[in-house]
Structure 1
Amino acid sequence: MTGNTFSGNIVVTGAASGIGLALADQLSAAGATVYALDRRDCPIGSVRTLLCDLSDSGSISDAVAALPGEVTGLANVAGVPGTAAAQTVLAVNLLGPRLLTELVLPRMAEGAAIVNVASVAAYRNTESPESIDALLRVRDRAGLHAWLCDHPVKGPAAYDTSKRALVDWTQLLSAKLTARGIRALSVSPGPVETPILADFEASMGADAMARSHDAVGRHGYPHEIGAVVAFALSPAASWLNGIDIPVEGGLFATRAAAKSPVFEGLSL
């Protein structure tokens, strides 16, 4: 764990498995009252599950209506990989977290924090800034369908784009909420040993995933990402705001070093 202690109610999406489950466990052990929003029950006895489908606005509204009146933290962890249809990827990874955040915000006061789990895939996005801006103006599935007609991205590319848009939206959100004393930031994991790792190998290519593994010696583990998200939610991170935190074991640094003309000459 991070050594942080928590009080109050924290909402975690995707808490039935993977990073969300690890985070819910860490937060609960540190004193938080955790509400898990997922399509399946969270297996942690101390965590209350509210069944929720992030691709369904009505399901999101129903889940929020069942939350307590005050929420001190929100972690948008749930997501789907690029093996899913592009509309599903963008709905779950972007529209769902955005709607959930907007509905939870009236329950948040000064000192609350929002952490959106994005991905290092955000940095592979090939859609233009103008395209991302247009995507961020989308409010519903009909608008999403129209955006996809103009920008026909497929599953893997849709995943990259969804995470780029989530990072950019989080930065805008943080600027909007600064006056209210509510923080918002994103965390971008590299490959992580979760139940959907095989889906990422299928969508991104097993060779590409193997190269990421070999570059830093292994993939990450859910508790390692959870620990960073837990810290970002905590009062100890009170001066962290509006940034994206890559949590990838040095993958970016290793790739940059491989292109550096001075790396081999470094004497350590």
Structure 2
Amino acid sequence: MLTNKKIVVTGCASGIGAETARLVKELGGTVLGVDRNEVSENVDSFYKVDFGDKSSIDALVDALPGDIDGIANIAGVPPTVDAETVIRVNLVGLKYFTEKMIDKLADGASIVNLASLAGLGWPNSVDQIKEAANLEFGQVADFVARHDIDKEQARSYFFAKEALVVWTMQHRWTWRDRGIRVNAISPGAVETPILKDFLETLGEKAEQARKVMDRAGTPKDVAPVVAFLLSDMTPWIRGTNIAVDGGQAANALCNMNGL
């Protein structure tokens, strides 16, 4: 399905990123692994980066080859990290990296952003999302302070994912002249190294959400959907956000709308 395709997988050292890298290789692709933690397994070449640092991203883009067929934007930090870092890494850095990479992508390339069930409430945050549309690294601290984003439990993480879902939708046709598409995937609770961070941060809210599920997800539940969107089978899927969450989003929407 991905034979001879060159795929950048960020966050390749653990969790969904590691499983995506493994699956891409299994499906015939070449993996350009990117992470802050060095890894050699299931990558053909590895590039170290700090997505919270603009100069680090610039160096990464310079180091990566051209004619890349896809980017799986999976790297991210959990809500237990300070709010400024969450916004810099999970939103500003991801967007900056992706936009800098456009010239290195092959025609027909696919970009897959790992959003989250946490982004479901984006319609309630439109004004903040608009304000953050052109947010730069040096402006994050002021933005967080003005909106008290560090005041509410995990708000930084939720906001970053809300804004990422919207950014994905907004760029549904931005690079259409070259056949480059962008989509998002929103997992629910997944058994990864950062799941404990969510439980620690959200407490009872997270426990209640898990009670409606038959089980937590695993990286093997999510990676195949990433691979599907990276493949040539999805040229007309553009700007969408696919829930991969065991029904959590459907449950939440039904409850929100009295269904």
Q: Residue by residue, what CA displacement relative to the aligned partner does 1:112-142 show, whole Å, maximum 9, x if unpaired?
A: 000000101012458631111111121x222
Indicate how the Cα distance of structure 1 residues 90 and 256 shifts in structure 2: closer, same or farther if over 3 A, else same.
closer
- Secondary structure in structure 2 of the residue aligned to 1:11: strand
Match of 2:139 in 1: 143
Match of 1:11 in 2: 8
- Secondary structure in structure 2 of the residue aligned to 1:112: strand
- Secondary structure in structure 1 of the residue aligned to 2:81: coil
Taking the aligned partners of 1:128 and 1:260, their CA distance within structure 2 comes to 18
Match of 2:195 in 1: 197
User: Larger deviation: 171-180 or 252-261?
Assistant: 252-261
Query: Are the counterparts in 1 of residues 9 and 17 from structure 2 also a CA contact under 8 Å?
Result: yes
Deviation of 1:213 after TM superposition, in Å, equals 2.3
Q: Residue by residue, what CA displacement relative to the aligned partner does 1:20-68 show, whole Å, maximum 9, x if unpaired?
A: 0000000011111111110112341543210111001111111121111
Indicate how the Cα distance of structure 1 residues 260 and 162 shifts in structure 2: closer, same or farther if over 3 A, else same.
closer
Amino acid at match of 1:119: S
Is 1:224 the counterpart of 2:221? The answer is: yes
Taking the aligned partners of 1:18 and 1:142, their CA distance within structure 2 comes to 29
Taking the aligned partners of 2:154 and 2:77, their CA distance within structure 1 comes to 11
- Secondary structure in structure 2 of the residue aligned to 1:174: coil
Taking the aligned partners of 1:117 and 1:76, their CA distance within structure 2 comes to 6
Match of 1:100 in 2: 97
- Secondary structure in structure 2 of the residue aligned to 1:175: coil
Amino acid at match of 1:33: T
- Secondary structure in structure 2 of the residue aligned to 1:31: coil
Taking the aligned partners of 2:58 and 2:51, their CA distance within structure 1 comes to 10
Match of 1:174 in 2: 172
Query: Are the counterparts in 2 of residues 126 and 161 from structure 1 also a CA contact under 8 Å?
Result: no
- Secondary structure in structure 2 of the residue aligned to 1:37: strand
Q: How many residues align?
A: 257
Q: Which structure has the larger Rg over C-alpha atoms?
A: 1
Deviation of 1:69 after TM superposition, in Å, equals 1.7
Taking the aligned partners of 2:170 and 2:37, their CA distance within structure 1 comes to 31
Q: Which runs of 5+ in 1 are unaligned?
A: 263-268
Match of 1:235 in 2: 232
Query: Are the counterparts in 1 of residues 16 and 222 from structure 2 also a CA contact under 8 Å?
Result: yes
CA RMSD of aligned residues (A): 1.9
Indicate how the Cα distance of structure 1 residues 182 and 16 shifts in structure 2: closer, same or farther if over 3 A, else same.
same
Taking the aligned partners of 1:54 and 1:36, their CA distance within structure 2 comes to 14
Deviation of 1:258 after TM superposition, in Å, equals 5.8
Q: Which runs of 5+ in 2 are unaligned?
A: none
Query: Are the counterparts in 1 of residues 12 and 35 from structure 2 also a CA contact under 8 Å?
Result: yes
Deviation of 1:243 after TM superposition, in Å, equals 0.7
Query: Are the counterparts in 1 of residues 217 and 246 from structure 2 also a CA contact under 8 Å?
Result: yes
Deviation of 1:259 after TM superposition, in Å, equals 7.2
Match of 2:159 in 1: 161
Match of 1:265 in 2: none
Query: Are the counterparts in 2 of residues 21 and 42 from structure 1 also a CA contact under 8 Å?
Result: no
Amino acid at match of 1:181: G
Taking the aligned partners of 1:17 and 1:80, their CA distance within structure 2 comes to 12
Which TM-score applies when normalising by structure 2? 0.93
Which TM-score applies when normalising by structure 1? 0.90
Indicate how the Cα distance of structure 1 residues 46 and 54 shifts in structure 2: closer, same or farther if over 3 A, else same.
closer
Indicate how the Cα distance of structure 1 residues 190 and 146 shifts in structure 2: closer, same or farther if over 3 A, else same.
same
Amino acid at match of 2:173: A
Taking the aligned partners of 1:63 and 1:132, their CA distance within structure 2 comes to 27
Alignment of 1:1-268 (within 5 A): 4-124=1-121, 128-138=125-135, 140-154=136-150, 156-205=154-203, 207-256=204-253
Query: Are the counterparts in 2 of residues 174 and 182 from structure 1 also a CA contact under 8 Å?
Result: no
Deviation of 1:84 after TM superposition, in Å, equals 0.8
Taking the aligned partners of 2:39 and 2:123, their CA distance within structure 1 comes to 35
Query: Are the counterparts in 1 of residues 184 and 240 from structure 2 also a CA contact under 8 Å?
Result: yes
